[in-house]
Amino acid sequence: MAMEEEETRRYRPTKNYLEHLPQLSFHQFETEILKTEYERLQARQPMEMMSMKRYELPQPPAGKTTDVASWSECVDNSYAQLEHQSTRIANLELMSKYGCEAWKHYNAALVKMLHQMQKQLQDLRKQIQEVNWRRKTSQTEAGEKLKNLEANWVGLVSKNYEIERACVELEKEIASLEAEYDQRKKAQLEAPQERPEEEPQEEQPEGQVPGDVTPPRLEETEEMEQGEEQKQQEQEESTASAEGEQEQQEAAPPSTE
C-alpha cells in the first residue's frame, strides 16, 4: 500500500487526460418532462406554480348559479375530495398500526446490507494485500537475481580483461624473443665472414685438407640454440596452462553470492 500511495502522490494527471474518450450522450436519460423543462430553462421562462384547484371546493361562477351542470360538477368534485381525505385517513391508520414494524424490518435489511458490504470490503482489502505481497516478493526475488547476474558479469569481464592483458604480455614476450633470436641467428651467420686480417696460420693436423676451416664458436652456437628451444618450450607450456585455467573458469558454475 505504501508503494501505491507514493505512486498516487507522484502522479499528476494532465488537464486533457479524457481526450481519448468519446463524448457522453445524455439522450437516453431524457424523458418528455425533462425535455420540456430543458426547453423552459433555455427560453428563460419562470416555473409554473403548483395548482391547488383540485383540493378546493369552489362554487359555480356568479353567472352559472342556476346551471344544473355546474352544480353537478361541484358535487362530483366534493365526492372526489371526500374520497381522497378518506384514503389519507386510512393510510394514517395503517401507518400508526404497522409503520413501526415496517421501519424495523427496513432498518434490519439496511443493517444486513451494511454487513454484507463491509464483508466485501474486507475481502477486497485482503485480496489487495495479497496482490501487493506477491508483487513485492517477485520484485525482491528479481532484484536478487539481477544483483547476482551483475556480480557474475563483473567477474567474467574482469577475468576476460586479465586474460587479454596476459595474452598481450605473452605476445610482447614472443615478439621480443623472436627479435632476439633473429639477431642472434644473423650474428651467427655473419660470424664466419668476420675473420681477423692477420691471423696466424695454424698447423693443419694430419689427414686434414688445408682448405677445410672449422667455424669458430661452434659449441657456443649449439648452446644458444638449445637455450632458445628451451625458452620456446617454457613459453608454450605457460600458454597451455593459461588456456587450461581459462577453460576451467568458464566451465565452473557461476557464483551465487
Specify if 136 maps to a domain.
Answer: no
Query: Closest by alpha carbon to 250, among 156, 150, 164, 147?
Result: 156
Specify if 88 maps to a domain.
Answer: yes
Specify if 194 maps to a domain.
Answer: no
pTM, to two decimals: 0.36
Provide the 8-state DSSP code for 84.
H
pLDDT at 19 (0 to 100)? 78
Q: How many domains does the chain have?
A: 1
Is the pLDDT at 161 greater than 90, yes or no? Answer: yes
Which structural domain, as residue segments, surrounds residue 75? Answer: 52-59+67-97
* Range among 5-14, 118-127, 240-249 rated most confident: 118-127
Mean pLDDT of the chain, nearest integer: 81
Specify if 78 maps to a domain.
Answer: yes
pLDDT at 3 (0 to 100)? 74
Distance from C-alpha of 58 to C-alpha of 41, rounded to nearest angstrom: 33
Is the pLDDT at 187 greater than 60, yes or no? Answer: yes
Length of the chain: 257
Query: Closest by alpha carbon to 65, among 53, 74, 56?
Result: 74
CB 255 within 8 A of CB 154: no
Provide the 8-state DSSP code for 28.
G
- pLDDT tens column, 54-69: 777 888 888 887 888 8
Query: Closest by alpha carbon to 228, among 196, 182, 166?
Result: 182
Distance from C-alpha of 183 to C-alpha of 95, rounded to nearest angstrom: 127
pLDDT class of 122 with cuts at 50, 70, 90 = very high
Specify if 182 maps to a domain.
Answer: no
Specify if 92 maps to a domain.
Answer: yes
Specify if 74 maps to a domain.
Answer: yes
Query: If you average pLDDT over residues 194-216, what whole number do you get?
Result: 49
In this structure, which long-range contacts are made by residues 153-162, counting pairs with CB atoms below 8 Å and at least 24 apart in sequence? 155/255, 159/246, 159/249
Specify if 9 maps to a domain.
Answer: no
